[in-house]
Structure 1
């Protein structure tokens, strides 16, 4: 394993010009999909808990579809299905976007994680004690200020342990990016395996790299939980 790692370490860890390394590409896929998914999930979670059916209904349908179908199928639809449509190929912007595998991959990942994150945040909103909301209304806060200063910040904090699991699962899900010819860690490992036939070494290195990233994410989220969820700890006597 050591010999193969020394020979192919640059493909796993080192970028070559404009070509990102396997680790850098995996981190970019994770960061981009999580960022887009998070930004979409915050307003959608508010809509998900709305009392009005015509507001929460479409969000429920979206989360139901994307949580009920495999991410691999969603990636194939974005990568090959949408581009097969004539209306997409005839549009210059859409053609340029869906021609690139990385764009399709980030789109599929972002829509998928957004669906799960929306339900996580919506559940956190529902778990906020009603007394906090009543206290804010007693101060004369409008609905906009109530959500901006009380509900959303409190919900994001309470959702942190569950959201950390979604981020780790999203990291594991990036392993299917090779389907769209994206050179992530697993794609590099497959190339190394094809060149050397050392399957245990090639995929063992990939497993170690994924584990290191996952442990770093877990450590970071635990630090955030200690800081931002301290108010939920029982008071000492």
Structure 2
């Protein structure tokens, strides 16, 4: 193996890595905005609210992400007339929109289940303490339930973020030139399979463990008061 060829194309691969990070961040932000209402819908007692949310989560967690990408990107062409009438065909013909949409829906389904479990795991005493302070409804949820649930679900959500980062490689199958897409393009040009794929793997590894570090710091900062309490009690 001759890695000298990689140095020649390293700036292009770094551009692909930046695209991968951009897709990850955009999908995470939108997916989180979808996941929280979806988690609340899963907890609703009204079956007309809970059932559609359950079906959504069941489908996107139970089918491969690659199939979902293909259905959105290639399958939407079967509904071109209907989408054109709705003014949406311009979006669904764009691989960027379809790729990010598939990632958003997929991560929203997984994140919703993470937060649903975290919300149900919030200690009852904390909720009762909030009510004793005069909180109720949205205020109680915003100040007590949601922050506590996010702290409980943060380790699992960190794993979901890492999964999403690695899953972005699948959007290269619909012509998006992320890190994997760039690597495939360079391999077809130079036939240096091992050199470029190993370099891409190293870049994914760096990005993954950077995320692991950031989530550890975030979790430590959010739960710092609990760690201080443990130290005080130990003394």
When normalised by structure 2's length, the TM-score is 0.93
Q: Which residue of 2 aligns with 1:235?
A: 230
Does 2:110 match 1:116? Answer: yes
Q: Distance in 1 between matches of 2:156 and 2:144?
A: 20
Which residue of structure 2 lines up, in the alignment, with residue 77 of structure 1? 71
SS of match in other structure, 1:128: coil
Q: Deviations over 1:110-141 (max 9, x none)?
A: 00000000000010001100011111122222
The equivalent residue for 1:212 is 206
For residues 58-73 of structure 1, the aligned pairs below 5 Å read: 58-73=52-67
**Larger RCO, structure (CA 8 Å, separation 6 or more):** 2
Partner of 1:202: 196
| Kept in 2: contact 1:82–1:88 (CA 8 A) | no
1:93 aligns with 2:87: yes
Structure 1: unaligned runs, 5 residues or longer: 14-20
Deviation at residue 156 of structure 1 after TM alignment: 0.9
Query: Which residue is equivalent to 1:5?
Result: 6
Count, aligned residues: 230
1:11 CA drift (Å): 1.3
Aligned to 1:104: 98
- Find the counterpart in structure 2 of residue 129 from structure 1: 123
Q: Is the 8 A contact 1:158 1:229 kept in 2?
A: no
- TM-score where L is the length of structure 1: 0.92
> SS where residue 200 of structure 2 aligns?
helix
Q: What runs of 5+ residues in structure 2 fail to find an aligned partner?
A: none
In 2: Cα distance, 1:109 partner to 1:39 partner: 13
In structure 2, relative to structure 1, the CA distance for the partners of 1:191 and 1:45 (3 Å cut) is same
Change in Cα spacing, 1:89 to 1:125, as seen in structure 2 (3 Å) is closer
Query: What is the CA RMSD across the aligned residues, in angstroms?
Result: 1.5
Paired residue secondary structure (1:45): helix
What's the CA shift for 1:232? 4.3
